[in-house]
Each structure stands twice: as structure tokens, then as C-alpha cells.
Amino acid sequence: MPHYLIKATLIGVMAQRLLRTLCPYCKVPAELTADDWESLTGTRHLPPAAGGQRAVGCAECRGTGYHGRTGVYEIMPLGSPLKALIHRDLDLARLHHQACADGMRSLRLAAAHKVAQGLTSLEEVLRVTPGNQPP
């Protein structure tokens, strides 16, 4: 598809994943180390979350430790700065860097917030979301 058609028609891009939510009846607190948090966020600049939980398993969740799902989203609206980068010789790294500068959060970072809220586990996030890519 020609780049000028993309610039003229695309208003945004969204990726989504569904994470299993921890069973409210059997989840237990789990300490998140700095290394755990770095594997989620890709940076040590954010302090580790205090609300980490882990799956145990009970009769309510049929021994899985999980009950239900929650969505995580990566949304990249195409504003003027991003549209200016869309041309024949597109540099994906530069596009990604600009999208992050414009406020886009990666799937992994969005999922890290769910871990911090105690809604899902570190293991579930690492299983479902793609790794952090440097901008």
C-alpha cells in the first residue's frame, strides 16, 4: 500500500492481549524483586510495585489460580508527528521512538500496571505479552 494512502486514511493502531486474572479467593501476595520489575517494564527507573500477587489454586478456580480475563492494550494514535515519519523509506525504530514520546505504552508496560494492581501475575504477563522493544 502506498505510504501516502496510509497517511491519509490511518487514524491509529491498536494491539491487544487478554490476560488471565488471578482468582480472588486464593491469590496470595508475592514480592516483586527489582529484576522481576525490570523484566516487566524494561527499565529500573520505575520503582517495583508493591501489589504483586501470585496464583495458588482452589476449588473456586478449579485449581488453576485464575478466574476470568482482563484486556491490555497498546494504542498508537497517528498524530502529525507520526504521520510526518510515514514515507517510502520508513524507519521503524524512529517511528517507535516517536510513538513512545507521544505517550504510547507497550503491551508489556500496560500489563505491568495490572500486576501492580494485583489483577494478574508476573508469570502470566511474561507468558502472554511480547518482550519490551527499545525505542
Q: Give me the mean pLDDT over the 91-119 stretch.
A: 90
pTM of this prediction? 0.81
Question: How do residues 1-34 score in pLDDT, each as one tens digit?
Answer: 888 888 888 899 999 999 999 999 999 998 888 7
135 pLDDT more than 50: no
Residue written as cell 502529525?
Answer: 80
- How far is Cα 129 from Cα 117, in angstroms, rounded to an integer? 17
Residue 44: predicted pLDDT: 54
Work out the pLDDT band at 121, boundaries 50, 70, 90.
very high
Residue 43: predicted pLDDT: 67
Domain ranges within the chain, ordered by starting residue: 3-128
Residue 72: predicted pLDDT: 96
Question: How do residues 42-98 score in pLDDT, each as one tens digit?
Answer: 765 666 667 788 999 999 999 999 999 999 999 999 988 888 898 888 889 999 999
Residue 6: predicted pLDDT: 84
Residue 34: predicted pLDDT: 79
Domain 3-128 part of CATH 3.40.50.720: no
Q: Give me the mean pLDDT over the 95-122 stretch.
A: 90
DSSP the chain: --HHHHHHH--EEEEEEEEEEEPTTT-EE-PPPHHHHHHHHS-SSSPPPS--EE----TTTTTSSEEEEEEEEEEEE--HHHHHH-STT--HHHHHHHHHHTT---HHHHHHHHHHTTSS-HHHHHHHSPPP---
